[in-house]
Structure 1
Amino acid sequence: MRFMILVKATADSEAGVMPSEQMLAKMGQFNEELVKAGIMQAGEGLHPSSKGARVRFSGKDRKVIDGPFAETKELVAGFWMWKCASLQEAIDWVKRCPNPMPGESEIEIRQVFEAEDFGAEFTPELREQEERLRTQVEKQARPG
């Protein structure tokens, strides 16, 4: 199973406060453990929402909304993509994570849909397309 691990934003992360050298070292060590265990597939920090945008959809209409966005507690400051045997395994790994922010912080765990979750609506043709796209993305991600 794949899980998206969402590090929630705080007032500091939204203000652009960068992590300390000590925090970067702790997070680097944790990431090494994840990689050695075969859990981590990707992980990145995100710039504050003031450097971002949203696109709101209404039928065929599109409206661009520039950041920053209100409700800091609903924003994401970073993420990991993990492969775990269960939700409980993902929870256990998150509990080992260094606190990603000074003070209180929160990390959300969400399971990623897999092809079999979509049932008959995900036709053989759509499955083939999905596999072809995943293969292309993997090739593009490889250096050289």
Structure 2
Amino acid sequence: MSKYMLIMRGNEAALAAFEAKPFEEVIEAMGRYNESMIEAGVLVAGEGLADAAEGVVVEFGGEVPVVTDGPYGELKELFNGYWTVETPTIEEAVEWAKRAPLGVGNKIEVRRVNGIEDFPADNEWIQKEAQWIEQAGK
């Protein structure tokens, strides 16, 4: 089994469609989707994000990182939330992504989450990471 992050991204059209729907309808659709993943035993985690205007961006490029209030730059796409699922294959993770109750202007990027086994076991920091994971009970 591997973990995959389903990264929800939207644009201005997605935001307009979201705002046009009754909030209760959106919450119910997401709740049903989440419930189906829980019942199937694939959902590990998932959360939505607050409005980008509430966030900040820390940009690295010079000697000192620059902090800018959100939203930032050109808003072609915005990361709005995620689910982490555990499935045997990326194809199954993609099938779950395709069931998300999202409309026009939304995308879901599916990416495998690296596990400790993806790194050299003889590295001091990887060994420490393994200990931290064990201590956290994960």
Same fold at TM > 0.5: yes
The equivalent residue for 1:123 is 122
Asked whether the 8 Å contact 2:43–2:84 carries over to 1, the reply is: yes
Distance 1:19 1:78 in 2: 19
Letter in 2 for 1:131: A
Cα gap change, 1:137 to 1:65, in 2 (>3 Å): farther
Residues 24-43 of structure 1: pairs in structure 2 closer than 5 A: 24-43=27-46
Residue 68 of structure 2 is aligned to residue 65 of structure 1: yes
Residues 42-81 of structure 1: pairs in structure 2 closer than 5 A: 42-58=45-61, 60-81=63-84
Distance 2:74 2:111 in 1: 20
Aligned-partner SS, 1:28: helix
Letter in 1 for 2:35: E
Q: Deviations over 1:21-80 (max 9, x none)?
A: 112111111111111112111111101211111111236521112111233333201111
Cα gap change, 1:50 to 1:25, in 2 (>3 Å): same
The equivalent residue for 2:96 is 93
Larger CA deviation: 46-55 vs 109-118? 109-118
Aligned-partner SS, 1:27: helix
Percent identical residues: 34
Once superposed, what is the RMSD of the aligned Cα atoms? 2.6
Cα gap change, 1:30 to 1:130, in 2 (>3 Å): same
User: Could you tell me how far 1:86 is from its partner in structure 2?
Assistant: 1.0
Asked whether the 8 Å contact 1:8–1:73 carries over to 2, the reply is: no
User: Could you tell me how far 1:3 is from its partner in structure 2?
Assistant: 0.9
User: Could you tell me how far 1:20 is from its partner in structure 2?
Assistant: 1.6
Asked whether the 8 Å contact 2:11–2:77 carries over to 1, the reply is: no
Structure 1 portions without partners, runs of 5+: 140-144
Give the TM-score, by structure 1 length: 0.77
Distance 1:86 1:137 in 2: 26
Larger CA deviation: 25-34 vs 55-64? 55-64
Give the TM-score, by structure 2 length: 0.80
Cα gap change, 1:36 to 1:65, in 2 (>3 Å): same
The equivalent residue for 1:133 is 132
Aligned-partner SS, 1:71: coil
Structure 2 portions without partners, runs of 5+: none
Distance 2:126 2:91 in 1: 28
